[in-house]
Amino acid sequence: MTLTQYPPTSRAGAPPAPGSDGPTLVEAMGRTYFPLAFVARLPFAMMVVGVLTLVVAGRDSLTLGGATSGMVGLGGAAIGPLVGAWADRAGQRRVLLATAAVHSVLLLALTAVVYSSASDALVLAIAFAIGATSPQVPPMSRSRLVGVIRSRLPAGRRPAVLSRTMSYESAVDEIVFVFGPFVVGLLAATLGPTAPMVAAAALTALAVGTFALHPSARTTTARTTPAASDPGVASGGQAPARELFRPRVLVLVAGFVGVGLFFGSVLTAMSAYTGDAGHAEQAGLLYGFMGIGSVVSALAVSAFPARFSLRARWLTFAVVLLVGAVVVAAAPSTGVLIAGLLLAGLGIGPSLVTVYSHGSERSPDGRGTTVMTMLGSAVILGQSIAAAATGALADTVGTSAALAVPVVAAGVVLASAAANWRLTGR
């Protein structure tokens, strides 16, 4: 697939002349791009928690609420990669506009159906459709950025800029995934349980629609082949779909399922922990400590020396994640539990950055958005499964059992990192 560049709007946006340092990434993308991409992520982060809040309030059933949020995750995991593949073929603009329109309508439809006499089956079906049509802003943003870095920046600067960019994108995801549930709670507490869904629908239509129309949507990414004479020029054609199922790609997906399992199990376990103390509303605050550690460590990745290889980084920080999870599970007090969450966050951030960097390297020709969407969908799938399973375990066995689930999730991440070590050359 040929890498299409959008027309520059200024001298700074023009392709770099031979021997010049070229534009910065901000100049190449445009100064409005990064704030816009941040806001456009919010509906995705609000979706699962917003659906759970709405259904529990409207149907007075925690079981149905958990099942409904799980269906959202299942829809995103099952259809999200297909949406990414569609974007690789048809372009992001068309796909984002279509999914944003349908997704906004479905969010409003669920809000109406939950408070009607419609069956639970219809609620679950709409929830699946909401997940299936969720606009894949995070992976599409990464795909755009990788494409611009490879096409518009001088070859000598690309590795460092790519590392910093993946660090930034992972940190933004962490901030949004912590801030999104907070926004849902604030809106639900002040305006009612339907407010988060209405707000998410409006944000999807406005912010995601604007993101779709941004000039960078005309840039499609493709992985450069080793035989290419210029590392900034992509090879023609699109790799067959079977290339997406190579072990070097699937091990990344498995690792992100583990990350999603960790996110979902920690949030649910914190709900059980604070609920035992009579302060269930404080679960998000405890969860935020893990987000703090993750954001800080994700931003620090760009300072790592080149000799600290990607495969070594993932293995190292997967161990840090596991140690943090063990501290959380065995914590004798809230202070120690918070320390474990901070430590686990320090392991999560670099793991996210590293896996996304691996994903950008290993994306088959013309399949960059698909791979990034597969990784994002894997997180949502793991999160949904863990939230439902950990909640059931907390209800039937107790909070101590729920606190042990993050250890298992961290073990999945570590096993994937070890497998990646064996699959990756020096």
Are residues 110 and 52 both part of a single domain? yes
Residue 259 within any structural domain of the chain: yes
Are residues 183 and 290 both part of a single domain? no
Say which residues have a Cβ less than 8 Å from residue 183's Cβ, sequence separation at least 6.
42, 46, 196, 199
**Whether the predicted pLDDT of 278 surpasses 50:** yes
What is the C-alpha end-to-end distance of the chain, expressed in Å? Answer: 29
Residue 232 within any structural domain of the chain: no
268 close to 141: Cβ distance less than 8 angstroms: no
- Condensed to tens digits (0 to 9), the pLDDT of residues 28-44 reads 898 899 999 999 998 88
pTM flag (> 0.75):
no
Are residues 196 and 342 both part of a single domain? no
Are residues 314 and 409 both part of a single domain? yes
Question: Domain residues for 67?
Answer: 31-221
Are residues 190 and 260 both part of a single domain? no
Residue 146 within any structural domain of the chain: yes
Are residues 263 and 410 both part of a single domain? yes
Tokens of 117: 């006499």
Q: Which of 80, 67, 45, 72 is nearest to 377 (CA)?
A: 80
Residue 396 within any structural domain of the chain: yes
- Condensed to tens digits (0 to 9), the pLDDT of residues 394-414 reads 878 888 998 999 999 999 999
Task: Identify the CATH number of the domain in which residue 140 sits.
Answer: 1.20.1250.20
**Whether the predicted pLDDT of 107 surpasses 60:** yes
The band of 20, judged by pLDDT with boundaries at 50, 70 and 90, is low
Residue 399 main-chain phi, psi, to 5 deg: -65, -35
Say which residues have a Cβ less than 8 Å from residue 219's Cβ, sequence separation at least 6.
3, 4, 5, 6, 144, 147, 148, 151
Tokens of 147: 């494409």
The tally of domains found in the chain comes to 2
Are residues 47 and 148 both part of a single domain? yes
Residue 8 within any structural domain of the chain: no
Residue 315 within any structural domain of the chain: yes
